[in-house]
Amino acid sequence: MEGSCSWEQKTLIGELIQGMELAKQLRQNLGAKSSAETREFLVQRILSSYEKSLLILKWSGSMGPGQQHQQQPQGGGGGLGVATNLPVPESPISVNESPRSDEQDPISKKRKVLPRWTDQVRVNSENGLEGPQDDGCSWRKYGQKDILGAKYPRSYYRCTFRNTQSCWATKQVQRSDEDPYLFEITYRGTHTCSQASNSVQPPTSPQNQDQKPINHSPIPQQPQLEHCSPMFPSNLRVATEDLGERAAAAAAAPGFNFPSSQHGGLMKGEDNFSPFILENETFLGSFSPSFVSPATPESGYYPVSPFQMTNSAGFQNVHRSDSDLTEIISANTSATNSPIPDLDFSLDHVNIDPNFPFDTPGFFC
């Protein structure tokens, strides 16, 4: 935390202040005999504020001085990566070497270091739709793998236009151990194909988020082939996934398959989860227009803030997304040859309220 005006500090203070104010509101509501719903909502927000504060502290504490914006510990307890105040890398494409080379080398089997972020889609069997909604992009499944500690196999998809348009965007779909109706979709890389404008873009900074209109609809209309760039998720709940919990979740279950956007059906017939309905498919955070059409896959290295995950106001729905700052951050640091670990973190159990005051006084320097 360099200087007296670190982003973390301000954010932390803002969170605490917000929590205090919410507590006051709750107090007033208690006296005013407000509805239980209102009180519950306030409690939810208060808890959210404190959880965020704790995450900030946790994250900050795990970073070396002056590195908060550049690295993030890997592992479930990673906490939040806050790179918000980082400007979009002037030239993310050229700044990176390894990620870029990886991404440009389709033949390499090396684990790609691409911008990665996770979205979660909750489905339910009531609506009759088959599987989670299409995210607006054309994906082609190229693999499935049983993941250690996970009850369900993970499916791998890549852009249909990978060959024709050299679009290296990929996504992984993993059904939640704890909630079979919850799918965690990890996007890697950004679309550079013709459907890029519809593609899911990595979350961006809070600043950007503030500028985005927020859809406060608590219940998203069953998105029809919505654009990948999920406008605003109606979920206000941003859960961070605790990596440890995954392993903990144990029971077994049949593998699952995720319907591809082109087929709509389940990938694996034996799956008993047939009629899935997308209850929520959103992507927390806002997307800066400047991120919409990266010139190259590498350009997907965006500064991201966990808080951009904040968003609209759904009340009960599950959803959330998280981001992976790793590569994004590396874009900003590679120039200094700093080894950047693959920082993958997610936020689970954290409810980020849609009204997170990024404009809280002092939020920004």
Interface contacts to DNA, rule CB under 7 A: 106-112, 138-150, 154-156, 158, 160, 170, 172, 188, 257, 260, 262-263, 267-268, 341-342
Supply the minimum distance, in Å, between the C-beta of residue 185 and DNA: 13
Asked if residues 301 and 92 have their Cβ atoms less than 8 Å apart, the reply is yes
Instruction: List CB contacts of 167: < 8 A, sequence separation 6 or more.
Output: 159, 161, 191, 192, 193, 196, 297
Supply the minimum distance, in Å, between the C-beta of residue 289 and DNA: 27
Q: Output 188 or 237, the one with its CB closest to DNA.
A: 188
Strand partners, 116: 188, 324
Token pair of 88 as six digits:
């979009």
Supply the minimum distance, in Å, between the C-beta of residue 223 and DNA: 19
Q: Output 15 or 134, the one with its CB closest to DNA.
A: 134
Supply the minimum distance, in Å, between the C-beta of residue 208 and DNA: 27
* Rounded Cα–Cα distance for residues 26 and 32 (Å): 10
Q: Output 148 or 251, the one with its CB closest to DNA.
A: 148
Supply the minimum distance, in Å, between the C-beta of residue 57 and DNA: 26
Q: Output 98 or 197, the one with its CB closest to DNA.
A: 98
Q: Output 216 or 263, the one with its CB closest to DNA.
A: 263
Neighbours of 4 (CB within 10 A): 7
Supply the minimum distance, in Å, between the C-beta of residue 247 and DNA: 9
Instruction: List CB contacts of 4: < 8 A, sequence separation 6 or more.
Output: none
Phi, psi of 250 (to 5 degrees): -115, -55
Token pair of 207 as six digits:
């600043």
| 3-state secondary structure labels for all residues of 209-270 | HHHCCCCCCCCCCCCCCCCCCCCCCCCCECCCCCHHHHHHCCCCCCCCCCCCCCCCCCCCCC
Supply the minimum distance, in Å, between the C-beta of residue 184 and DNA: 11
Instruction: List CB contacts of 360: < 8 A, sequence separation 6 or more.
Output: 10, 14, 17, 18
Residue whose pair of structure tokens reads 């791998």 in the numeric block: 156
Supply the minimum distance, in Å, between the C-beta of residue 54 and DNA: 26
Q: Output 8 or 135, the one with its CB closest to DNA.
A: 135
Q: Output 169 or 318, the one with its CB closest to DNA.
A: 169
* Rounded Cα–Cα distance for residues 202 and 170 (Å): 13
Q: Output 61 or 149, the one with its CB closest to DNA.
A: 149
Supply the minimum distance, in Å, between the C-beta of residue 196 and DNA: 17
* Rounded Cα–Cα distance for residues 365 and 350 (Å): 25
Token pair of 248 as six digits:
């903990």
Q: Output 49 or 160, the one with its CB closest to DNA.
A: 160
Asked if residues 212 and 201 have their Cβ atoms less than 8 Å apart, the reply is no
Supply the minimum distance, in Å, between the C-beta of residue 73 and DNA: 13
Q: Tell which phi-psi region holds residue 337, choosing left (phi > 0), alpha (psi between -120 and 50) or beta.
A: left
C-alpha 278 chain-centroid distance: 17
Q: Output 233 or 259, the one with its CB closest to DNA.
A: 259
C-alpha 275 chain-centroid distance: 25
